[in-house]
Every structure is written in C-alpha cells, then in structure tokens.
Structure 1
Amino acid sequence: MNSTPEAQVVVAVDGTSGSGKSSTCRGVADRLGLRYLDTGAQFRAMTWWMLREGVDIHDADAVAAVAEKPTIVSGTDPLDPTIEVDGVDVATEIRTEAVTGSVSPVSTVPQVRARLLELQRRIIDGGGIVVEGRDIGSVVWPQAEVKLYLTADPAARALRRAAEEGGTDVAATERVLAERDRIDSGRATAPLTMADGAVHVDTTFHSLHEVIDQVVQLVERAAR
C-alpha cells in the first residue's frame, strides 16, 4: 500500500492532443505508485458504443437519449490501463479511425459529459491518482492539488500522434488535431482551457523522461 505523502494527491493533467499527456501521466503515476485515469478513453468508449448501436452521432438528441445505457469501466493501473464497455474489452477498438473521427461530436453533448463526469468523480474520489483529459482541472476536479496544462508545437504533436497511430501522413494528422482542438475549445459545455492555477508545460523540446521528472517534482513539492 502506498503510504507516501503523494498517496492522496490528485494530479489533473489537461492539454491538447499529441502533447504527450498519456505517456507523461502513466509515467508519473508509475513512478509515484499512483492510480491513472484516461478520461479520453471513456469518451472514445462511449463513441464506440454509439457507432456499434447505429446511433446518429451528429444528432445530439439521439446521442443524449441513450447516453445512460452503456456500462463503462476504466482500469487504473498505469502499466496496464483497461477500458471495457458492457463487459467487453475495447482498448483496441476505441483507437480506430472511425472512433477518432467521431469522438468530437459525441463529446460535445452535455448529457454524455454529465454521465462521464459522474463516473470520473467516483473514480477520482479518495485521491492517489493522475488524471488526464481536457477539462480535469477546470471542471472535473478543480480542487486538485496539482494542475497541469500540456501543450506542444503543432508539428511536433502531429509527428507524435502519427507515430502512435502507425500513420505516415503527418500533414493530415496535424489538420485533424487542429480541428479537434477547435471543436473542444469552442464547445459550450466544459471547453478545453487552462484551469486556474495550472502549470503550463510545453513538451515540444523535452524528452518524455524530462517531462516526467518535471511533473514528479511538482507533485512531490505539492504533497509536502
């Protein structure tokens, strides 16, 4: 059992796609013996379910009407984070192009955000967790002891995301990321924004190890 001063801390990490949030959060959680939650995977899981059920994702009313139906379970082991929908492991399925291209319209629906917000807060309660997303420090858990906002140069973000997804069209990836940021920053409910009190971390010219070190130091300082 983790009995260090960091054991009760909540680390809220927001930021743009491709800025290194997932790798950073998992690395920090592993280093400090904390749990890890990828809220983006929950939105992807909801989107995957909508697509499987044939819901018109561009019809906000249709999405809202069924947002309570799927059972979404997130594993919080930073070395092996899992995501299940109705008992089915969808870790691979939620990373397909179909889901990636559909998650923004689903995530803008207030009923979807409300449903997942409740789930996220239940998981975070008790602390000892690193949480990544786009509105963690501003909406989901504004009382977090450590709040970070990760960004990177658009070209660097596109290179990272294209490499993650096994693609080679970096320019197309950059356009997709820019459109995702535009939608998420402009949505009426819980827009992408840097939370009050958040530390801005630009990862463009830093290695993953360097970023993890920086965040670990911030967490250790906050816990003491």
Structure 2
Amino acid sequence: MTQTVPGTETPTATRRRPVIAIDGPAGAGKSTMAAHLARRFGFLNLETGAMYRALALKAIDADIDFTDESALMELAEQTRIGLEPQREGNRVFLDGVDVSRRVRDTDVTSAASRISVHPRVRAWMVDLQRVMGKQGGVVMEGRDIGTVVFPDAEVKIFLDAAPEVRGGRRYLQVGPSVAAKPEEAIIKELKERDERDRNRAESPLRAAPDAVTLDSTELTLDEVLSRAEAIVREHVPEPQLH
C-alpha cells in the first residue's frame, strides 16, 4: 500500500507499535539495515532520505536555486511524495510518478544534501515523517530520526563507519567499471557531505544521547545486521516485534 503524505497533516495520538530509528552519515549502510530489520520484524521500511531526494529532484527539474529557501518551500507545498514499501527497499513516487531509480543518481543525492540545510524545508519534512510513522511499526532511517523526528523512539541506532570505508563500499556498490568517479573522489564527496550534515544550523547530524552507536568500519555486513537485531530485541519486548 502506498503511503502518500501531503504537507498539511499533523501527527497525532499514541502509536500502537514501536519505532526503530536509524541515523548516521551518508554511505554508512542505513538503508540496508532498515530494509533488513523491517523484513525481520515485519515492520514497514520508511526511507526518509528518499523524501529529501524526491524534493531535490523536483527542484532540479524546475531549475530552482538550492540556496533559495522560499522558492523551495513554495515548491514543497505543491509536492506530493509517496513511498511504497517493497521487500528490497521502497518505490518512490513524486506527484504520482515512480522516480525510484532517478532519486538514486549522484546529482540528486548531492542536491538533497544541499536543500536539507534549510530550516523550513526540514520542518516540512519532519511533519511528513511524523505522519508516516505515527502508528509505529516502522523502521525510519535518516539523519535526525532519533533526535528530532521521533526523539521518543523505542530503538535508536546510530550507524557509522570511517569515511574511507563508506566511500570504498559505495564505489564497489556502483561497480568500478561503471563508476562515473574514481574512489578518491567519492570519499572526498562523502567527507564534504559529512561536514555539511554535522555543522548545519538546523538538526545537525549527531547521535541521540540514548542511541546505541554501531561502528561498522571493521565489521562484515552479517555482523552489522546481527548486532542490529540484538539491539532491537534488547529494547523492545518480543510480543511487540510481531
């Protein structure tokens, strides 16, 4: 079922099931972890970063200056973003059009980082994200889920890794034979994005005080996912996980 979220709704009421919040820098593996935990525990995987990328794509297509917050907000108010959870991730809809592939492109992810620094844009997104997760039973990943969107989430994981490792993984994921940029350039871009995300005035990237930090620099994927499952079980009674 597609969950389409206009920008005028207000979050309400007490959720029925837990929220699992996963935060961390770009390239840390949050999407992989969120998809795994959602499958493992029967939760919905709501990828909030895709929402920023969808709005960024619309800004690109409309040729809007990424520094013009007023223009971006005017655009946002005319935008509908939908996420359709799938077993291997989300389908992303922008004004009813499936843009799942396009929002993964480098120019869109870079633009998303730039528009996300604006306080009003972030506030608009936070409202949408709270509406999507208000019933609980969701895994939400992003930059400020445990600190701003759901500071009362039952489970908070801050997933991190050295930028060199994150860049290397992203390079291999794309494939050296088709990568548009050398590995060194990808690592440089990640470090620049880290700088923007950690030092923006509104909702900077940081671990919530009660988050469990999981550094995957020297861990295999299986080890990371196993530890994440254990963290969830430590914080949520088994009956609420199914």
Q: TM-score, normalized by length of structure 1?
A: 0.92
Q: How does 1:60-209 map to 2 (within 5 A)?
A: 60-166=69-175, 167=179, 169-209=182-222
C-alpha contact 1:50 1:63 (8 A) present in aligned 2: yes
Q: 1:78 and 1:132, CA in 2 relative to 1: closer, same or farther beyond 3 A?
A: farther
The corresponding residue for 1:218 is 231
Q: 1:74 and 1:175, CA in 2 relative to 1: closer, same or farther beyond 3 A?
A: same
The corresponding residue for 1:25 is 34
Q: TM-score, normalized by length of structure 2?
A: 0.86
- 1-structure distance, mates of 2:173, 2:70: 33
C-alpha contact 2:69 2:120 (8 A) present in aligned 1: no
- 2-structure distance, mates of 1:148, 1:107: 21
The corresponding residue for 2:11 is none
Unpaired stretches in structure 2, ≥5 consecutive residues? 1-15, 238-242
C-alpha contact 1:148 1:198 (8 A) present in aligned 2: yes
Aligned alpha-carbon RMSD (Å): 1.5
The corresponding residue for 1:51 is 60
Q: 1:125 and 1:77, CA in 2 relative to 1: closer, same or farther beyond 3 A?
A: farther
C-alpha contact 1:15 1:134 (8 A) present in aligned 2: yes
The total of aligned residue pairs comes to 218
Unpaired stretches in structure 1, ≥5 consecutive residues? 1-6
Q: Say whether residues 1:14 and 2:23 are aligned partners.
A: yes
- 2-structure distance, mates of 1:120, 1:61: 21
1:164 Cα offset (Å) = 2.8
C-alpha contact 1:185 1:193 (8 A) present in aligned 2: yes
C-alpha contact 1:23 1:208 (8 A) present in aligned 2: no
1:119 Cα offset (Å) = 1.1
1:171 Cα offset (Å) = 0.7
1:160 Cα offset (Å) = 1.2
State the AA in 2 paired with 1:12: A
